[in-house]
Amino acid sequence: MVKRKLGALEKVEADLPNLQHKIRRDPKSYIEDFRAQHYQYESHREIFMAAPTSATDTGIISLRDLIDFISHVADCYPEILKDFPQQLIDMLMQHHQVLEPELREKLVGSLALLKKKDLVDSATLLHTLFPILISTPSKSLRALLFTKILSELRTANSKTVNHKLNRTMQTVLFNLVTSDRTSSKALWAIKITRELWKRQIWTDSKAVEIMKESSLSENEKVIIGGVRFFLGGDKEREDMEDEDSDEEIDVGRIRHQLGINKKTKKKARAAEKAVSAHKKKEKKKNQPHSLNFSALHLLHDPQGFAEQLFAKHLQNSRSKLNLEQKLMVLQLVSRLVGLHKLHIMSLYSYFQKFLTPRQPSVTSFLASLAQASHDLVPPDVLEPLIQKIANEFVSEASAGEVATAGLNAIREICVRQPLAMNETLLQDLVMYKKSKDKGVMMASKGLLSLYRDVGASMLKKRDRGKEAAMGLRSGDKEQRRFGQQDIGGIEGLELLENWKEEERRRKRRDKGLPSDGEDDEDDEGDDWDAWNVEDDNDSDDSGEWINVQDDADISISDSEDEDKDRPSKKAKQEEDEKAKANGEEAKTKESAFSKLATTRILTPADLAKLAELRAEASVDAAVNGNKRRPAPTPSSRHNDDPLTAEEIEGLAALSAAKQTREERIAHAKEGKADRSEHRSKEAKRRERKVEQGKSSTNKEKSRKKNFMMTLGKARSKNKRSLIETRAVLKAHHDRKKRGGKRGNMGN
């Protein structure tokens, strides 16, 4: 009797796939067959819900197959199966801990399938799966639910941003983090938010607030998860975007392979899919790029967040974080302070006890201190720290690596706040430019070049250099004051001004006019000049003051003694006039460069040309090596870019003693050009054929054959008569003329 029931059950299971295809084709004709299977499902479900732990293997298998069958045809009978989704949800939520693994996975997959058929909405599906994700002890189920939740959120935001669903899910994750700060369940909120941020699905401030609250948690893993998001989440997003852009599709190669391989419907569908993906990517490239703000910029209250992080995890003696974790928190706090120019005065006194060469990971502390410096920090706060770094790290008795790290750290602090350095200490540190250690010498010269640009008056005359000395005489190299901000401008505008001037002169030369003359008629921009001139002429008649010639050259003397002293006075006057002329010339240049932005509207063509000129200037500086390149300023390093411990170590990070042979070889090859550019045409042709999926010729294959394999053919060729040789050559000629054995040329 049992064998007969099992046989009937196997027959029903075997008929389910066939019945599924029939129902999909004609639902009305097979409604009675479907009702019979649905009745079996209801019976198995009632038995299972009554005693889920005592269900037999046969009953579980039958229930699983019936759930799979009904899920695939549920859209054909929506009225009959209106309660089916809720039944699956109840079964999964109430008994997920005792369900058989395969049945549990089938329930999750069936709910996802019903969502694709629009029988379950996204919010219901996520509200079902997420509570199970954070409560189930099964590792395999957690991985499955995490994948399904991410997939559903990506699908819901694929065409347009689903703001309602995103807000609902973000609220759930935010409450999960804030409800219990000691629990590790908030890790799931971090994983989901970070993955969606990386894929640019969540790019708003609400996602950042979730990670902010995670960083202020009391669980060590949750804290570090939130901190790592702020330190590396934006880099992950950029890398993901670069990977997507690198996946280029070669449409020509796909069509070529379809032409030479066997044609099947499967390959044709794959080719169509690849071509459509290529078209979508090309269309996406032409769309305007969305603004992706950094997570650090989207914080509502960076000052309060930085103060809470510092007080809770660094100043608090009860903090459970180890040194490595505290360094990560310190790096985040320092980046917030430097990026938003915050003020946390107790932060700088916190660094005092760590600024010693014996401190583990001291270069990370030095990098964090440099990141926390900016031009609005009072110089008297940073000056004791610079003095301690100089005393602890920079001395004749210190090792080269230690002195290099100290000088580099001092330089990075002074780049951001030059007023923190005093004149005596600066002159002492500059003397290390004559050190025999290359790292110390380069670090000292970097500090020297910095102060030639931002504080030349603090250097001795022999250390100022030609440009700094001339700038001090003309008044250009003035010492910056505390809190002084640079006037905003357009970078590289002088390049566009020079280019326009050269174009104007070239046009005048082409017309046969002197190149230095003024234009009466010009193209687009001269109407603005004429308009400005009319304004000037009108203003002369308005009764305002008129500049007249200076009376400095007119001298009246009543005695001959004054005539004797006149040459010395005249020489002194000439020197004063020369210095004044240098200053006026510099100011004239500045006003000429700024005139373009203040008197003309820059067209899109001008902006495009400006970008081109900037690129040319940067390439020229990189290739030719601009020796008069200005010293690095805070604007030269992007505020979002972190300062690493390797940059503080300088050449010590590249020390041969710390590198393996492979690392030294890789470093040696780093600055060399790619040798693949200098290959022969034949080598490039072979590589191109391999990329296109083409094979090599028979002639190329014969070269790689074993000598014994070709010996017989060579002997037979030697024994040919003249008539046989002529026949072979004639056949070869005819075959080549018609395009090979198969006549590929169509002749």
Structural domain harbouring 19: 1-120
Confidence at residue 303, expressed as pLDDT on a 0 to 100 scale:
93
Q: What is the rounded CA–CA span in Å between residue 452 and residue 440?
A: 18
Q: Of 175-189, 225-239, 617-631, where does the model show the most confidence?
A: 175-189
- Same domain? For 105 and 13 the reply is yes
Across 40-49, 450-459, 528-537, 727-736, least confident range: 528-537
The fraction of the chain above a pLDDT of 90, given in percent, is 22
Segment 538-549 shows an average pLDDT of 43
Segment 373-400 shows an average pLDDT of 90
Q: Which residue has the tokens 């921009």?
A: 525
Q: What is the rounded CA–CA span in Å between residue 470 and residue 464?
A: 9
One-letter amino acid at 708 equals M
* Cα separations in angstroms, 180 against 173, 184, 218, 306, 513: 12, 9, 9, 22, 82
DSSP class of residue 201 equals S
Tell the burial category of 153 from Cβ atoms under 10 Å away from its Cβ (0-12, 13-18, 19+): buried
- Greater confidence (544 vs 115) lies with 115
- Greater confidence (333 vs 686) lies with 333
Task: Show the 3-state SS of 116-154.
Answer: HCCCCCHHHHHHHHHHHHHHCCCHHHHHHHHHHHHHHHH
Q: Positive or negative, the Cα torsion across 678, 683, 687, 689?
A: positive
- Greater confidence (623 vs 62) lies with 62
Domain boundary among 62, 85, 120: 120
Q: Of 55-64, 397-406, 582-591, where does the model show the most confidence?
A: 397-406
Nearest to 16 by CA among 64, 57, 65, 61: 65
Considering its fold, how many domains does the chain have in total?
3
Q: What is the rounded CA–CA span in Å between residue 386 and residue 409?
A: 9
Confidence at residue 438, expressed as pLDDT on a 0 to 100 scale:
86
Tell the burial category of 128 from Cβ atoms under 10 Å away from its Cβ (0-12, 13-18, 19+): buried
Q: What is the rounded CA–CA span in Å between residue 150 and residue 169?
A: 11
How many other C-beta atoms are found inside a 10 Å radius of the C-beta of residue 225? 22
Lookup: tokens for 89: 């949800």
For residue 544, pLDDT beyond 70: no
Decide if 291 is inside a domain.
Answer: no
- Same domain? For 648 and 725 the reply is no
Segment 114-125 shows an average pLDDT of 90
Nearest to 640 by CA among 193, 340, 195, 206: 340
The answer to whether residues 217 and 177 touch, using CB atoms and an 8 Å cutoff, is yes
Segment 147-161 shows an average pLDDT of 91
Decide if 484 is inside a domain.
Answer: no
Confidence at residue 152, expressed as pLDDT on a 0 to 100 scale:
92
Task: Show the 3-state SS of 287-339.
Answer: CCCCCCCCCCCCCCCHHHHHHHHHHHHHHCCCCCCCHHHHHHHHHHHHHHHHH
- Greater confidence (237 vs 17) lies with 17
Decide if 26 is inside a domain.
Answer: yes
How many other C-beta atoms are found inside a 10 Å radius of the C-beta of residue 120? 22
Helix (H, G, I), strand (E, B) or coil at 94: helix
Length of the chain: 747
* Cα separations in angstroms, 81 against 75, 276, 525, 650: 9, 36, 73, 69
For residue 483, pLDDT beyond 80: no
For residue 636, pLDDT beyond 60: no
Half-sphere exposure of 111 (CA within 13 A, CB side): 28
Decide if 316 is inside a domain.
Answer: no
One-letter amino acid at 527 equals D
Segment 60-84 shows an average pLDDT of 88
pTM over 0.85: no
Segment 680-699 shows an average pLDDT of 83
Q: How would residue 578 be classed by pLDDT, with cut points 50, 70 and 90?
A: low
For residue 7, pLDDT beyond 70: no
Confidence at residue 699, expressed as pLDDT on a 0 to 100 scale:
79
How many other C-beta atoms are found inside a 10 Å radius of the C-beta of residue 621? 13
Confidence at residue 470, expressed as pLDDT on a 0 to 100 scale:
78
Segment 670-693 shows an average pLDDT of 76
- 265 membership: H or E segment, kind and range: helix 265-286
For residue 210, pLDDT beyond 90: yes
Q: What is the rounded CA–CA span in Å between residue 7 and residue 65?
A: 16
For residue 277, pLDDT beyond 80: no
Q: What is the rounded CA–CA span in Å between residue 734 and residue 745?
A: 13
Q: How would residue 465 be classed by pLDDT, with cut points 50, 70 and 90?
A: confident
Q: What is the rounded CA–CA span in Å between residue 169 and residue 163?
A: 10
Q: What is the rounded CA–CA span in Å between residue 523 and residue 605?
A: 14
The answer to whether residues 567 and 455 touch, using CB atoms and an 8 Å cutoff, is no
Q: Which residue has the tokens 């002088």?
A: 494
For residue 98, pLDDT beyond 80: yes
Confidence at residue 246, expressed as pLDDT on a 0 to 100 scale:
47
Lookup: tokens for 368: 């964090």
Q: pLDDT tens digit string along 220-265? A: 999 999 999 998 876 777 766 655 554 455 556 666 666 666 667 7
Confidence at residue 263, expressed as pLDDT on a 0 to 100 scale:
67
The answer to whether residues 747 and 737 touch, using CB atoms and an 8 Å cutoff, is yes
Task: Calculate the average pLDDT of the chain.
Answer: 77
Q: How would residue 211 be classed by pLDDT, with cut points 50, 70 and 90?
A: very high
Q: pLDDT tens digit string along 317-363? A: 888 888 999 999 999 999 999 999 999 989 999 999 999 999 988 99
Domain boundary among 97, 120, 143: 120
Q: What is the rounded CA–CA span in Å between residue 406 and residue 391?
A: 9
Segment 72-89 shows an average pLDDT of 89
Domain boundary among 656, 683, 718: 656
Confidence at residue 144, expressed as pLDDT on a 0 to 100 scale:
92
Q: What is the rounded CA–CA span in Å between residue 333 and residue 216?
A: 12
- Greater confidence (193 vs 467) lies with 193
- Same domain? For 649 and 742 the reply is no
Confidence at residue 306, expressed as pLDDT on a 0 to 100 scale:
93
Q: pLDDT tens digit string along 389-424? A: 999 999 888 888 889 999 999 999 999 888 888 889
The answer to whether residues 626 and 348 touch, using CB atoms and an 8 Å cutoff, is no
Decide if 77 is inside a domain.
Answer: yes
For residue 656, pLDDT beyond 70: no
Decide if 414 is inside a domain.
Answer: yes
* Residue 137: partners with Cβ closer than 8 Å, 6 or more residues away: 97
Residue 319, Cα to own-chain centre: how many angstroms? 33
DSSP class of residue 642 equals P
Q: What is the rounded CA–CA span in Å between residue 644 and residue 272?
A: 47
Q: What is the rounded CA–CA span in Å between residue 52 and residue 63?
A: 12
Confidence at residue 257, expressed as pLDDT on a 0 to 100 scale:
63
Decide if 51 is inside a domain.
Answer: yes
Decide if 275 is inside a domain.
Answer: no
Nearest to 156 by CA among 165, 147, 148: 165
Q: What is the rounded CA–CA span in Å between residue 164 and residue 173?
A: 14
* Cα separations in angstroms, 502 against 321, 508, 513, 524: 63, 10, 14, 16
Q: How would residue 280 be classed by pLDDT, with cut points 50, 70 and 90?
A: low
For residue 529, pLDDT beyond 80: no
Q: How would residue 204 be classed by pLDDT, with cut points 50, 70 and 90?
A: confident
- Same domain? For 648 and 714 the reply is no
- Same domain? For 741 and 645 the reply is no
For residue 20, pLDDT beyond 70: yes
